Amino acid sequence: MQVNAKLTNSVNVTATTTLTADEIKQKVEKLAQKAAKNVKIDGFRPGKVPVAEVIKRYGKDLENDARGELYREFISESVKSVERSNSDIISEPRVLKFDEKDGNIDIEVEISFRPTVDVSGYEALIPSFDEPKAEKSEIDAKINEFLNMMAPLEKVEKDSLEKGDFAKFDFEGFVDGVAFDGGKAEGYVLEIGSGQFIPGFEDGMIGLKVGEEKDINVTFPAEYGAAHLAGKAAVFKVKLHEIQGKKIGQLDAEALKKVLPNEENPTKEILEERISSQIKAEKMAKLVAEELKPKFAQAAVEKFSFDLPNNIVEQEIDMQFRNNWMSFSDEERKKFQEDPKALEEQRAKYKDDALKSVKLTFIIDELAKVRNIAVADNEILQTIYFEAYRYGVDPKEHLENYKKQGMIPAIKMALVEEKLFTDLFGKKDESK
């Protein structure tokens, strides 16, 4: 096999070869000889099946196997010729040409290797920042939220229902004069203005007096979950039985036990300290996401220079293109499917962002090694399970779906990135 391989930069090599008909034939015979020792064919003793018979019966499969084996040998020889090893390869080689003619196959591929990334001096790129603080007014507001959540509902004597009141009422919904399933309840309690019901319903209840009945006309949103109701006009017959309100209590010993159930001797000071830590953590997460991480990422991409594996860049371009697919018009999508030039022109628009994204990924990967950031399998599993619980889906099925989609590495990378930036900015902050 004659191989011509040439490095285009430090991490990409273009290689060509021609698999001749004779080479393929010889490889088929070699595979057939090996198979003849174990294959079972009626009329022949084990181990005595003629090679010609094996080729006759399994010729197509043998030829496919021969091509695959010769292709792998071609890749290995190409890598070896540029003094690299197969372990350096990152992702699958890109096939640029695969032409069959007269039994011969002309092949051209691009093989990419993992780049060497030097992040020396990254510490200077970490933006300076002031440690987030929790104001007393914010802590007091959070305490009031807890007290409000714990406060029991009580009957309120007032003329009519207002926004912020809780209504205890009966209702039944009708579409085209016919009651629909799930549209009826008795003694239902709803906070007016909470936005729990479809738009217009709660506003329609404002001003109702206890014992009063009313027809409220609304329209279900076009994106409503129940397809048979989406976009439909409906009438809800309601009857108000009682107006209720919350009586906010004090932060006494009983309330402290409720908000600090695992604390042996709960105090207001402990609660304030917990709330303060939570507020500062939330502010810090927002600061990292909106300011520190973007600044650091931009500075790192500009400072560190290294060649990028073209196949990974192409994969990133493909992903960005797919993510934007639904934003195109039907006419545009049709054009991309029928016109290769238009498709390539559109893909080219994502190249700059793809280059930055891929470069940053390798920088983050190297920084994680430098700072000993690691993510254990159980952390990935826990993340996926928590997500499943949030969406109300089966955790095991959710995990299997991610595995089928090949998304586990991406989730791991996201966790590594999260831990890295927490570590990066946290230690920068502590050093001040």
And the tokens for 232?
């439909």
Confidence (pLDDT) at 55: 86
Q: Where do the domains of the chain lie? A: 3-112, 152-246, 271-430
Closest residue by Cα to residue 367 from 173, 158, 123, 200: 123
What is the Cα–Cα distance from 270 to 398, expressed in whole angstroms?
38
The answer on pLDDT for 354 being more than 50 is yes
Domains 152-246 and 271-430 share a fold: no
* Cβ atoms 360, 366 nearer than 8 A: no
CB atoms within 10 A of CB 198: 16
Give the pLDDT of residue 165. Answer: 93
Q: What percent of the chain has pLDDT over 90?
A: 62
Alpha-carbon span 86 to 76, nearest angstrom: 7
Contact status, residue 1 vs residue 73, Cβ threshold 8 Å: yes
pLDDT at res. 430 = 41
CB 170 within 8 A of CB 186: yes
Residue in this structure with the two tokens 């084990």, named with its chain if needed = 46
Strands 213-219, 166-175: pairing is unpaired
**CA distances for 353 relative to 116, 169, 196, angstroms:** 21, 55, 40
Nearest CA to 16 out of 113, 88, 84, 104 is that of 104
Residue 357's pLDDT is 93
Distance CA 151, CA 254 (A): 12
Write down the mean pLDDT value for the chain.
90
- Residues, the chain, total? 432
Q: How far is CA 328 from the centre of its chain?
A: 22
pLDDT tens profile 310-337: 999 999 999 999 999 989 999 999 999 9
Which has the closest alpha carbon to 143: 251, 245, 282, 248?
A: 251
CA–CA gap between residue 428 and residue 292 (Å, rounded): 11
Q: What CATH code is assigned to 152-246? A: 3.10.50.40
Q: Is 197 left (phi over 0), alpha (psi -120 to 50) or beta?
A: beta
The mean pLDDT value for 219-229 works out to 89
Of the given ranges (133-137, 274-278, 355-359, 387-391), which has the lowest mean pLDDT? 387-391
Q: Which two tokens stand for residue 372?
A: 């000993």
Distance between CA atoms of residues 232 and 248, nearest Å: 40
Q: Does residue 187 have a pLDDT over 90? A: yes
Q: Which residue has the tokens 């998304």?
A: 407
Mean pLDDT of 15-43: 87
Average pLDDT of 25-29? 90
Q: Is the pLDDT of residue 432 over 50?
A: no
Characterize the bridge pairing of strands 153-155 and 104-112: unpaired
271-430 CATH: 1.10.3120.10
Q: Which residues are registered as beta bridge partners of 155?
A: 244
Mean pLDDT, rounded, for 246-250: 83
Give residue-wise pLDDT tens across range 290-300. 999 999 999 99
Residue 431: what pLDDT?
Answer: 38
The kind and range of the H/E element at 30 are helix 21-36
Identify which has the larger pLDDT, 44 or 308. 308
Alpha helices in 237-393 (DSSP H): 253-259, 268-287, 293-303, 310-323, 330-338, 340-348, 351-370, 377-391
Which two structure tokens, joined as six digits, stand for 170?
């009966």
pLDDT at 142 over 70: yes
Alpha carbon 170 to its chain's center = 42
Taking the alpha carbons at both ends of the chain, their separation in whole angstroms is 62
Q: Percent helix, strand and coil across the chain, each rounded to 5?
A: 50, 20, 30
pLDDT at position 393 is: 82
Reply yes or no on whether the pLDDT at 429 is more than 60: no
Distance of CA 44 to the CA centre of its chain: 56
Across residues 251-277, what is the average pLDDT?
A: 86
The DSSP code sequence of 82-103 is TT--GGGB-SPPEEEEEEEETT
Would you state the pLDDT for residue 387? Answer: 85
- State the burial class of residue 173 (Cβ atoms within 10 Å of its Cβ: 0-12, 13-18, 19+): buried
* Distance (Å, whole) CA 270 – CA 294: 35
d(CA 216, CA 236): 5
Q: Does residue 118 contact residue 25 with C-beta atoms inside 8 Å?
A: no
How many CA within 13 A on the CB side of residue 156? 19
Which class is 3-112 in CATH? alpha beta
Q: Report how far Cα 431 is from the mean position of its chain's Cα atoms.
A: 33
